[in-house]
Amino acid sequence: MANRAFLDTNVLVYKVEGEARKSAIAESLLALAPCISVQNLNEFVSVATRKLQLDWDDIHVALDHFCEACEILPVTEKVHDRALEIAERHKIAMYDALVVASAELAGCDVLYTEDMNHGPRVGGVEVRNPFKGP
């Protein structure tokens, strides 16, 4: 098990609106006291309002839960600069690179996400898809 984990937005979304298996996995990851960034909170709100059509009370409850369970990291100029390097080197989308850069600069060993390939190290962080079946 990793010493320090970072969660991508899809983990947060599945906690709130996933089928039972994915929701349980998301909850177990939140129990690790992982890191997330302000970017993840903003992306969650975007998905929650547009795709999931949650009401604002439910969104606030979810955000409160995430903020209590996780260490919230800012998106700084340093994160942005490192993300540019990662996006260019690894040929990934800038928003994914921002997540990787946040995880790396926070000293995380692993990034849990469904949005990137399972297994490789990107920007010094191991990418794992926690929802990948056996």
Q: Is the pLDDT of residue 34 over 80?
A: yes
Q: Is the pLDDT of residue 1 over 50?
A: no
Separation CA 126–CA 119 (nearest Å): 6
Q: What is the pLDDT of residue 18?
A: 73
pLDDT cut 90: percent of the chain above it: 86
Residue range 51-61: average pLDDT?
Answer: 97
pLDDT cut 70: percent of the chain above it: 97
List the one residue out of 106, 99, 126, 117 whose CA is nearest residue 12. Answer: 99
Q: Quick one: pLDDT band at residue 86, thresholds 50, 70, 90?
A: very high
Domains annotated for the chain, with CATH where assigned, are: 5-128 (3.40.50.1010)
List the one residue out of 130, 112, 134, 119 whose CA is nearest residue 22. Answer: 130
